């Protein structure tokens, strides 16, 4: 058994403790685990097991069981995000067009398409990279995270944003409630309040 396998076993034991210098240790001996095949003092911690199972489900992309501590945004909230953000994008679009009505950019359909794509990508990339939330998500109290619950990086958000341009992408939610832009970027939308609770509980889980 490797040390990593020993530590994974100890993570699920009620006797686990956290030492600032040694890391995860046995609460009975206060030493780093060194058993060979199995620990005679192992006693399963139901809460730790449930958290680990939920964490694995979350990483596997299940739409109904992301994590025992991260709550996926409901279909209603996701529709609200889509509707609010689409309205705001249109407001920005018409506002910009009113100032650029004489610009050569709009003399060709191709120029207009490039402008719309740039606006669409810019809107989502700006808000989700900087704050993890578009204005729509701020209103509904949801936020974008990676499949493991961590904050997404710029490349994940870019993939997420450009995937929205796939034809008929909104219809991808009709199956299990997870869109193509979620799957391709390995991100999920969850309730922001559950992210805060998870961060607090992660600290407690170390002790």
Name the residue ranges covered by the structural domains of the chain. Answer: 3-44, 75-204
The tokens describing 23, both together, are 């890391």
- 35-39 long-range contacts (CB < 8 A, ≥24 apart) are 35/1, 35/6, 36/1, 37/1, 39/9, 39/10, 39/13
pLDDT of residue 102: 55
Closest CA to 120 of 69, 71, 66, 169: 169
Closest CA to 82 of 181, 183, 167, 185: 181
pLDDT of residue 23: 81
Tokens 């694995």, located at residue: 56
Closest CA to 50 of 201, 207, 203: 201
Check: CB of residue 177 under 8 Å from CB of residue 75: yes
For the chain, list residues with pLDDT below 70: 47-69, 100-109, 175, 196-207
pTM (2 d.p.): 0.61
Neighbouring C-alpha atoms within 13 Å toward the C-beta of 69: 21
pLDDT of residue 64: 35
Alpha-helical regions (H) of 70-191: 75-99, 109-130, 135-140, 154-163, 180-185
Give one word for 90, left, alpha or beta, with left for phi > 0 and alpha for psi -120 to 50. Answer: alpha
Closest CA to 156 of 135, 129, 123: 129
pLDDT of residue 156: 93
Could you give the CA distance from residue 69 to residue 148 in angstroms, rounded to a whole number? 11
Convert the pLDDT of each residue in 143-187 to its tens digit: 998 887 788 899 999 999 999 999 989 888 876 778 899 999 999
Tokens 């958000």, located at residue: 157
CA 82, distance to chain mean position in Å, is: 17
Closest CA to 163 of 186, 147, 143, 196: 186
């Amino acid at each position: 058994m490797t040390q990593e396998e020993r530590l994974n076993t100890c993570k699920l034991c009620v006797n686990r403790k956290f030492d600032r210098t040694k890391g995860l240790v046995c609460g009975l001996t206060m030493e780093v685990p060194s058993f060979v095949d199995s620990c005679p003092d192992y006693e399963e911690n139901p809460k730790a097991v449930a958290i680990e199972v939920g964490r694995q489900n979350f990483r596997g992309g299940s739409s109904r069981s992301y994590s025992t501590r991260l709550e996926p945004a409901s279909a209603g909230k996701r529709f609200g995000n889509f509707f609010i953000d689409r309205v705001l994008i249109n407001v920005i679009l018409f506002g910009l067009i009113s100032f650029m009505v004489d610009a050569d950019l709009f003399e060709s359909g191709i120029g207009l398409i490039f402008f719309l794509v740039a606006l669409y990508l810019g809107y989502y990339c700006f808000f989700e990279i900087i704050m993890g939330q578009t204005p729509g998500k701020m209103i509904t109290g949801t936020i974008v995270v990676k499949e493991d619950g961590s904050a997404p990086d710029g490349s994940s958000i870019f993939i997420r944003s450009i995937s929205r341009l796939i034809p008929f992408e909104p219809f991808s939610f009709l199956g299990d409630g997870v869109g193509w832009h979620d799957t391709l970027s390995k991100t999920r939308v969850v309730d922001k309040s559950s992210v805060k609770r998870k961060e607090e509980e992660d600290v407690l889980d170390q002790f």
